Amino acid sequence: MRHLMKSFQVLIALIVVVLIAQTVVAQDGTTGAVTDDMVNAIAAKLYCPVCENITLDTCGTAACADWRYEVRLQLEQGMTEEQIIEDFVRRFGDRVVGTPLDPALRALSLVTPWLIIAGVLIVTAYVITRRNAATAAQAAAPETGSTGNRYQDMFEQDISGS
Amino acid sequence: MLAEIGLISTLFAFIAALYAIVASVYGERFAHSHALVTSGRNAVYLNFVLMTVATLSLQIALMTQQYQISYVWSVSSPSMPDFFRFTALWGSQAGSILFWSFLMSAFTAGATFLNWKSQRRLMPYAIAYMMAVVAFFIGVTLFIENPFDRWWILPTGDVVASAFIPAGAVAPSAAQLAQTANGLNPLLRHFGMAIHPPMLYLGFVGFVIPFAFAMAALASGDLSTNWIKVSRRWALIAWVFLSLGLILGGRWAYDVLGWGGYWGWDPVENAAFLPWLIGTAYLHSVMIQEKRGMLKTWNMFLVIGTFSAVIFATFATRSGLVDSVHSFARSEIGFPMFAFWFILTLVSVWLIVWRSSRGELKDDHQLKSLFSREALFVLNNFVFIALFVAIFWGSFGAPIISELFMNTSITLGADYFLQVTPPLFILLFILMGIAPVSAWGAASLARMGRAVLIPLALTAASIGLFVVGGVTEIGALFGYGIVLFAGWVAVVETVRGIRARQHVHRENPLTSVIALYTRNPRRYGGYFIHLGITIIGLGVIGSTVFQQETQQTLAVGESLSLGIYEMRYDGFLANQIAEDGRVMDIAELTLFRDGVEVAHLRPRRDFFPEATDMNSMTIAGAHSTVENDFYVILVNWEQISASSATFKVYINPLINLVWWGGLILIIGTMLAGYPRETMPVRVREKLHAVPQGA
C-alpha cells in the first residue's frame, strides 16, 4: 500500500512539473506550435471590426494583421477558440462574429426569418382557402343583382359609380 | 465642349421624359387624343437619342482624356489603357447612373417600338411608368450626381467642381489636371468588372419593363394576359442578364478579392441576388396564369416585388445603407432613391388592392390537388420568397433593426446564411425535380412516383459512383443526391421528349432535338436551365464542403504540400512596372501533382501609386482542372531580399462547375426565350400538326 501511495505521489509530482513547465513555456511565447492555419481557422470566424464585412483572415489592412497577431498570441497563451472569440466580442461587440453570441441578438437573427416565413405561409394559406371558399360559394349561389357575367357586373359597377 | 453637349442633351432628355409621361397619360385618359399619345411615344424616341448623345459625350471625354471634366479626372489617368478608359464610364457613381439611365432609355424605346401596334391600350400607361423611372434617374444625374461637372479655380484659389462657370473662375491647366488625375479604382481594373456591371444594369433595367406593363394593365383595366405576353420575354431577357451579372460578379470576386471564394454573402451581392429570386419566382408563376388563369394578384405582387428589389438593390449599393466591399459606390443619392422606391411601390400596391377589391383579379380556377403542377409552382414560389426573406433579413433587416432599436451593431455573415438557407435550397431542388413531372389540374402521388422512378435510380447510381470515388461525407452525399435528382429529371424528361418524337415521326435524333427545342422552347429550354442550376449546385457543394486550405511561409526553394499538390517557391520579382503604371510584386512558383510538374504560377500583389484609396490588389495564381482549382495568394514577403514569402493556398474542388453551369444556364435561357413566331410559317404549321403529347 505504501508502495502504491509513493507511486501515486510521484505521478502527481510529475503532472505538476509538466503543467508548470507548460505554463512557463506558454508565457514565454516560445512554444512555436501555433501555425498560420490555426490562427486563420479562428480569424475566419471573426469579422474585421473596422472594415466592410470582411473576415479577419482575408482582410489585407495593417490593423487586421495586428489582430491576427493578437489571435496568435492568445493561442500561444493557451486560450481556446471560444475564449478568443468571446474576447473579441467583448471588446468590439457582436458585429465581429457572423452570428451574434448575445442570446437576445442571436435569437433575433436566427429565429426571426423563420417567424416571418411562417407568417407568410399562414397568410398565403388563409388567402388561398378563403378565395377557394368564396369561389365555391359564388358558384353555388349567384349574387343578387348580378347579371351572371363578371365583366358586365364590373361595367354596371363602373357606371353606377360604386 | 463635350461637357456642354452632354449636359444639354441630358437636360433635354429629362424634359422629353417628363413630356412623354404627361402626353401619354393626359392624351389617353383625359383628352382621348391619339395625336397626343403618339407625341408622347415620339418623346420616348427623342429621349433615347438624347441619352445616347449624352452617354457618348462622356465616353468620348474619357477616351480623349478631357480631365477638366471632374468625372473623367476621378476615374481615369494618362497611364490607363484604353480598355479601362472605356469601362471607366461605369467606374464611379455619376457615370454609372448616367449609363443606367441610358440603358433604361434604350429598353424603353425598344419596348415601345416593339409593342406600339400590338398593345395600343397598354402603351400610354406603360410609357408613363417607364419614363417615370428614366426621368428619376436622369434627374439624379442632373441635380445630384452630374458627370459633366468641370473643375474651376475660384478667385480665392479654391478648386470646385461645377457644371457652370462660377463668377471670376478660371479653368485649371490641362497638364496639371492630367498629372493629378486619380485613375480607376484598382479593384475595377479587371476584365470581369468590364462586363459584370453592365450585365447587372441590363438585368435591373430589364425588370422595369414587366413592371411598367403590369402597372399599365392595372391602370388601363386591360387585365387579360396581354401584359404577360409582352412582359414575359422582357423578364426572361432581364433574368438572363442578371444571372450573367451575378456569375461574372462571382468570378470577379474569385479573381480579385483574394479570399478563395466567389460568394461572400456580402450585403450588396445579396442585394443583387434578391431581384433574381423574385424574378425567378415570377417566371415560374406567370406560366400558371397563362395556362390556368390563376395567381393573377400574386403575379402582380411578384412583378412589383422584383422592381422594388431592383430599386432597393441600386439604393443599397449606393447609399452606404450597410457596410460592404462595394462601398466605393456610396453617395448622397440614398434618400431620393429611397423616396422614389417607396412612392412607386406604394402607388403600385394601391393599384393592385383597388383592382382586386373590384373583383377584377379573380382567378379562373382553384387549386385542386396538392400534387398538381400549379400547386407545386405555388410551393416553389413560396420557397423563393422564403429565401428572399431569409437573405433580406440577414443582409439588411437584422443589422438595421439591431442598430435602430437595440443600440448595437451586428453583421450577419456566411455563418448565418449557411445555417438558414440550406433547408430552403434543398426544398427548392426537390421541387425542381418533381414539379416538371407533375400534371396541370389534378395529379396523383402514385403517378408522380412512377414518373420519378428512373431519375431516382440514376441518382442512386450517381451517388454510388461518388462513394466509389471516395466521397464518404453523408451531408455532401445527401446534397449531391438532391441536386442530381433535379438534374436527372431534366435529362430524362428531355430524352423522353426526343424518343417520343422519334417514335411518332421516325426522325433522326438530331432532327428530334432541334424540333423539340423549336416546338416547345419554354419547356425544354427550362429543362436546360435546370441542368445548368444542377451543375452550379454540384460546384457549390464540392467547393464549399471539400475546400482545403493552408497558409505557410516558405524560403526560396522550399515547398508546401496540400492534398495531391506540392508547391515550390522559386523566387520573387519585386517592383515590376506594368504599362498602366501599377507596381507588381510577383512570386514565382512551380506546382507539382504526384511529383510531376504541372504549372508555373505567379501570384502577385499590385500597387497603384496614383490611386487615392484602395491602392493595392491581390491577384491569385490558379491552376484549373475539371477536378479542382489550385489557388494561391501571396500574403506577405520578406521586404528586402524576398528570401521568404507567405502563401495562402486553397484547393477548390469542382469550382469550375459553377462557371460552366452558369454558361449552360445562359444557353438554356436563350433557348427558352426563343420566339416561335420568328419561325417560317411553313415550319410552324408543320410543328402545330404534331400532337401535343409527343
Q: How buried is residue B567: exposed, middle or buried, by Cβ count under 10 Å (0-12/13-18/19+)? A: buried
Q: B411 vs A109: CB contact, 8 Å cut-off?
A: no
Record the pTM: 0.85
Residue among B645, B564, B641, B643 at smallest CA distance from B602:
B645
Shortest distance between the Cα of A25 and any Cα of chain B, in A, equals: 23
Q: Exposure of B143 by Cβ count < 10 A (0-12 exposed, 13-18 middle, 19+ buried)?
A: exposed
- Over the Cα atoms of chain B, what is R_g? 28
State which fold the A21-98 domain adopts: Helicase, Ruva Protein; domain 3 (1.10.8)
Q: Is the pLDDT of residue A20 over 50?
A: no
* B266 within 8 A of B325, measured Cβ to Cβ: yes
Chain A residue closest in CA terms to B375: A128
DSSP B325-352: TTGGG--TTHHHHHHHHHHHHHHHHHHH
Q: In 3D, which of B45, B7, B37, B8 has the Cα closest to residue B21? A: B37
Rounded CA-CA distance B412/B559 in Å is: 37
**B445: alpha, beta or left? (left if phi > 0; alpha if psi -120 to 50):** alpha
Measured in angstroms, the CA of A84 and the nearest CA of chain B are apart by 17
CA distance B8 to B16: 12
For chain B (694 residues), the mean pLDDT of every run of 10, in chain order, is 92 96 92 92 96 96 91 87 87 89 95 90 93 94 90 86 84 82 77 82 92 91 84 89 91 83 87 94 89 84 91 76 52 79 89 86 75 87 94 90 82 89 95 88 77 93 92 91 95 91 84 86 91 95 92 93 94 86 91 93 87 76 93 87 88 94 92 68 53 41
Residue A7, burial from CB neighbour count under 10 angstroms (0-12, 13-18, 19+): exposed
Q: Which residue has the higher pLDDT, A144 or A86?
A: A86
**At residue B263, what is the residue type?**
W
Q: Which three cell numbers stand for residue B87?
A: 469601362
| SS3 assignment, position B316 | helix
State mean pLDDT over A86-115. 89
pLDDT of residue B692: 42
Is 60 exceeded by the pLDDT of residue A11?
Answer: no
Of B308 and A15, more confident: B308
Q: What is the DSSP letter of B393?
A: I
Indicate the residue type of B643. S
Q: What one-character DSSP code corresponds to residue B548? A: E
Give the list of residues 6+ apart from residue B21 with CB closer than 8 angstroms, or none. Answer: B40, B127, B128, B131, B132, B135
DSSP H helices in chain A = 2-28, 36-43, 62-76, 81-92, 103-140, 150-160
Closest chain B residue to A45, measured at CA: B415
Task: Count Cβ neighbours within 10 Å for each residue of B463-482 and write b for 16 or more, e otherwise.
Answer: beebeeeebeeeebbebbbb
Within 10 angstroms of residue B142's Cβ, the number of other Cβ atoms is 18
Left (φ > 0), alpha (ψ -120 to 50) or beta: where does A32 sit?
left
Maximal CA-CA distance, chain B: 87
B 479-538: CB under 8 A from A: none
Give the contacts of A58 (CB within 8 A, at least 6 positions apart).
A44, B257, B258, B259
Q: How far is CA B353 from the centre of its chain?
A: 30
Least CB-CB distance to A154: which of B325, B360, B411? B360
B 618-677 residues with CB < 8 A to A: 618, 646, 648
| Residue B490 near residue B534 (C-beta atoms within 8 A) | yes
**Around Cβ B151, how many Cβ atoms within 10 Å?**
19
Quick check: B274 and B388 in contact, CB under 8 A?
yes
**For the residues A148-156, what does the mean pLDDT come to?**
61
Q: Tell if the CB–CB gap between B414 and A131 is shorter than 8 Å.
A: no
Task: For residues B555 and B569, give the distance between their C-alpha atoms in angstroms, rounded to a whole number.
Answer: 7
Say yes or no to pLDDT of A150 above 80. no
Which chain B residue has the Cα nearest residue A104?
A: B406
List the domains of chain B with CATH numbers.
Answer: 1-189 (no CATH), 191-377 (1.20.120), 452-545+668-688 (no CATH), 548-653 (no CATH)
Stretch A77-92: mean pLDDT: 92
A-B contacts (CB, under 8 Å): 121
B646 contacts B633 by C-beta, under 8 angstroms: no
List all residues 6 or more positions away from A43 whose beta carbon is below 8 Å from its beta carbon: A55, A56, A57, A67, A68, A71
Rounded Cα distance, B488 and B465, in Å: 15
Q: How confident is the model at residue A148 (pLDDT cuts 50, 70, 90)?
A: low
Q: Are A45 and B415 in contact (CB under 8 A)?
A: yes
Please tell me the predicted confidence (pLDDT) of residue A18.
45
Q: Measured between CA atoms, how close is B553 to chain A, in angstroms?
A: 9
